Chains A and B, each alone.
Chain A
Amino acid sequence: MKSFKGLFKKEIYHIFRDKRTLLILFALPVLQMLLFGYVITNEIKKAHIAIYDKSNDHTTKDIINKIGSSGYFNIVKTIKNDAEIEDTFKEGLVKEVLIFEPEFAVKLEKQNIASVNVITDASDVNTANLLTNYTTAIINDYVIKKNAQSSIPLKIDIQTRMLYNPELKGVFMFVPGSMAMILILICALLTSVAIVREKETGSMEVLLVSPLNSVQIILGKVTPYVSLSVINAISIILLSRFVFGLPMQGSFILLLFECFLFILMSLSLGILISASTNSQQLAMMLSMVALMLPTILLSGFIYPIENMPVWLQWVCKINPATYFIIIEKNIMLKGTGMESIWKETLVIVAYTVLFIGLSVKKFKVRLQL
């Protein structure tokens, strides 16, 4: 136990004295969360738009007010003539121009139909799409409310994505995946590199000659990373809960437990990698290419698995991160308990056992050489 404490302390020194390790361990999770939460997001906030109100009546004023106060748009300019539209776009001032036809209110009341033209800057396709959807939804909402008061219902049927995901919260999609990725990265990459470094410098040999046995050595090396990973997992959950307002429908304890299982799985994977190679660079490459990319692309993190070709779907199915992301989404967003995720949990446990078994086998072979 005392020698274990020594190993633990030594590893902590290694971690806290290496700037690169520290950066990966503490800056990366926060950075990644902010990146996915704010930058690569499907939301729009305070998008700059211009209004060209040819009618200038009470209805258009109402709609403009509604758009202006929605929080998604910031009306920065009022356009007075047609020529100004193109100039405004060219200046790059706004992403969208809203044009109300003349006598908007009159037409709406008499003919039950009035038109508004939404022009967006499609050089950024995604944003343009989003802006159109948001604008349409707000106008629709206005019309529906108006219909409730009037005797003759206006029939405008425009489907928007906002009906499905009203606030288009990107964070809901990104947090579970980011968590899987960060945990895989820290546990597998950092531990494998840490173990291989000792092989490279020859200190592993000295440890093996000492009275410590190999299990003690490995435990002493990985335990610090487990503790730090758990801290990271908790801080990611708190960050997503309080900064991004992600719901926590299910049990926090259950989520932590599942995180812990996933950490153990990643760790055993890291040990397997370190048992398979003697160079830090190779260990890093293996972790990056073999773990990071599948975790990002082939786990349902960013791209839906159902849209992939069948053979890639199979790759996703053997990727443990896929199961962890399902578990996370179930607990956090749907609030389900163990009864709906026990299969995925078992898969992760099975992977852990498999990886540990393989590394023990490899480690024994190595020692003989």
Chain B
Amino acid sequence: MKSTEKVIVVKDLVKDFGSFRANNHLTFEVYKGEVFGFLGANGAGKTTAIKVLCGLLKPTSGYVKVAGYDVYSQSNSIKAAIGYMSQKFTLYEDLTVYENITFYAGIYGLKFKEIKQKSLALIYKLGLEAHTHKLIKDLPLGWRQKLAFSIAIIHNPEIVFLDEPTSGVDPITRRQFWKMIYEAADRGITVFVTTHYMDEAEYCDRISVMSEGCIVALDTPYELKKKYGARSLNEVFLELVRTKQSI
């Protein structure tokens, strides 16, 4: 645990779509600088929960505070305080590397000088100097993903939400990607990440496992494995989901 300062507080979050309950009384807290893994099968309610936390969806009921702001009344302040990278690819393919960076920096209200400075620093850090003015569509997928992550945190958000950021990426790039996630966490940015890959879940400080709209487990990977007597998180996950579904 890196800090005891809470950046996300969720109590009894319920989100209904008509008669379908996507999030059923979720309760959890996330601390500053933590890498928080959000696991669950498809349709377990992960994406809905992320959308509520990002201020895209209003919860049906429950108490939700993100970066100290209330999701019901202060969603605009939340949006300025967070970064977001979705599972779908979100850089503009017909814009160059530099144009993508400056565009996203611009919509987050960075100053002109800051934008230029940060863009160049970012390009240097990623080693993309030779590709600054190349279109995104000419870059390999792994590079794009790393660039997308860097752009998601260019405005130094308190929290960055990553919705399955590494789907379709080769293992080496995934490893590099996680290095970047740790670097961000070291800088005090809280990382809220959903994933399908169990080996990735091992990298998280704490993970929560969702099944059918409920959180069925929440602890450090080590504790979870110990509790279920499992060798890997994969076993833990299967065990949890199976128990839930048999109820």
Q: Which residues of A contact B (CB under 8 A)?
A: 2-3, 5-7, 9-10, 13-14, 17-18, 201-203, 205-213, 367-369
- Kindly state whether residue B139 has any CB partner on chain A within 8 Å: no
Chain A residues with CB below 8 A from B88, complex form: 201-202, 205
A212 touches B107 (CB 8 A): yes
Nearest CB of A to B68, in Å: 16
- Among A6, A208, A209, A212, chain B packs the most CB atoms within 10 A around the CB of A209
Besides the known contacts A6-B103, A205-B56, 11 further A-B residue pairs in the complex with CB atoms under 8 A apart? A6-B102, A6-B106, A201-B90, A202-B87, A207-B107, A209-B82, A209-B161, A210-B79, A210-B104, A211-B76, A211-B108
Chain B residues with CB below 8 A from A207, complex form: 107
- B33-41, B91-99, B194-202 - the one binding chain A: B91-99
How many chain B residues touch A (CB < 8 A): the figure is: 33
B79 touches A209 (CB 8 A): yes
B94 touches A202 (CB 8 A): no
Considering the complex, give the chain A residue whose CB is closest to the CB of B161. A209
Nearest CB of A to B157, in Å: 11
Considering the complex, give the chain A residue whose CB is closest to the CB of B87. A202
Considering the complex, give the chain B residue whose CB is closest to the CB of A200. B88
- Kindly state whether residue B178 has any CB partner on chain A within 8 Å: no
Q: Once A and B bind, how many residue pairs between them come within 8 Å at the CB atom? A: 76
Q: Could you tell me the distance between the alpha carbons of A205 and B55 in the complex, rounded to whole angstroms?
A: 12
Interface residue ranges of B86-137 to A (CB < 8 Å): 86-95, 99, 102-104, 106-109, 112, 135
A5 touches B80 (CB 8 A): no
Q: Which residues of B contact A (CB under 8 A)?
A: 17, 54-58, 76, 79-80, 82, 84-95, 99, 102-104, 106-109, 112, 135, 161
Q: Could you tell me the dominant secondary structure of chain A's interface residues?
A: helix
B94 touches A13 (CB 8 A): yes
For this complex, 29 residue pairs linking A to B, each with C-beta atoms less than 8 Å apart, are A2-B106, A2-B109, A6-B102, A7-B107, A9-B103, A13-B92, A17-B94, A201-B88, A201-B89, A201-B90, A201-B93, A202-B88, A202-B89, A203-B92, A205-B84, A205-B90, A206-B84, A206-B85, A206-B104, A209-B54, A209-B55, A210-B84, A210-B104, A211-B79, A211-B107, A211-B108, A212-B107, A367-B56, A367-B57
Given A14-B94, A205-B88, A209-B79, A369:B17 Cβ within 8 A: yes
B80 touches A211 (CB 8 A): yes
Chain B residues with CB below 8 A from A10, complex form: 92, 95, 99, 103
Chain A residues with CB below 8 A from B56, complex form: 205, 208-209, 367
Chain A residues with CB below 8 A from B93, complex form: 201
Please tell me which one of the listed residues A2, A13, A206, A212 contacts residue B99 in the complex, with CB atoms under 8 A apart: A13
Chain A residues with CB below 8 A from B92, complex form: 10, 13-14, 203
Nearest CB of B to A224, in Å: 14
Nearest CB of A to B159, in Å: 12
Nearest CB of A to B164, in Å: 12
